[in-house]
Amino acid sequence: MVKEIVADFKAKFEKDAGMQTASLTAAIEQLGGGEAKADPVNKFFTDTLAGVDLSGKAAAKADGSVSEKLAFAQQQAEAEFVKSFYVTADEAKAVKAAVKDEAALEDLMKKVYAKVGFHLPSMYSGVADLKTVGDAAADKFVGEVNAAKAKLAGDIKKQSLSNFSASFA
């Protein structure tokens, strides 16, 4: 906000010969030990700060008053927040289109979940299969456990994808 006010002051001061003259006169009076009757620099900053509208009702304009510039900056920040953390209509449309494509749907699910800050742990996909030990009975059991683990991981993945796509239906 201060930068905006200073920029406005510089722009006005460069173009306003009356303000330049009054500022010089006030500065000379103050250097002489007197008190300036009217300090246009101080008045500009005081009036500008007093006129700042913090109610949120100012129109958003990039090149407007300080209040309008603040409203514009707020509007830009909100738009960036929405873009960064909200699911867009295009993303929702892509999820609906990818319902039959498991790989595309999984990729979209990871992207959307990452965007909104949802962490989905890969519970079973990161667990290595058990190794066989060389005993026929034990190896048969290890095979059954590995098959059951793979089926469970597949079922969890399928249900997760189904739940994800259903939330966009």
Same domain, 25 and 59: no
Same domain, 116 and 131: yes
Same domain, 94 and 160: yes
Using alpha carbons, list the distances in angstroms from residue 7 to 2, 4, 45, 49, 101: 8, 5, 11, 13, 54
The parent domain of residue 20 ranges over: 1-50
Residue 31 predicted with pLDDT over 70: yes
Same domain, 95 and 153: yes
Same domain, 97 and 160: yes
Same domain, 79 and 97: no
Same domain, 112 and 139: yes
Same domain, 26 and 76: no
Q: How open is the CA angle 142-144-147, to the nearest 5 degrees?
A: 110
pLDDT tens for 137-169 read 999 999 999 999 999 888 988 998 999 999 998
pLDDT tens for 121-131 read 765 567 788 99
For the entire predicted model, the pTM comes to: 0.56
pLDDT tens for 32-81 read 887 767 788 888 888 888 888 888 888 998 888 888 888 998 999 999 99
Same domain, 100 and 150: yes
pLDDT tens for 76-123 read 999 999 988 899 899 999 999 998 999 999 999 989 998 888 877 765
Same domain, 94 and 157: yes
| Number of separate domains in the chain | 3
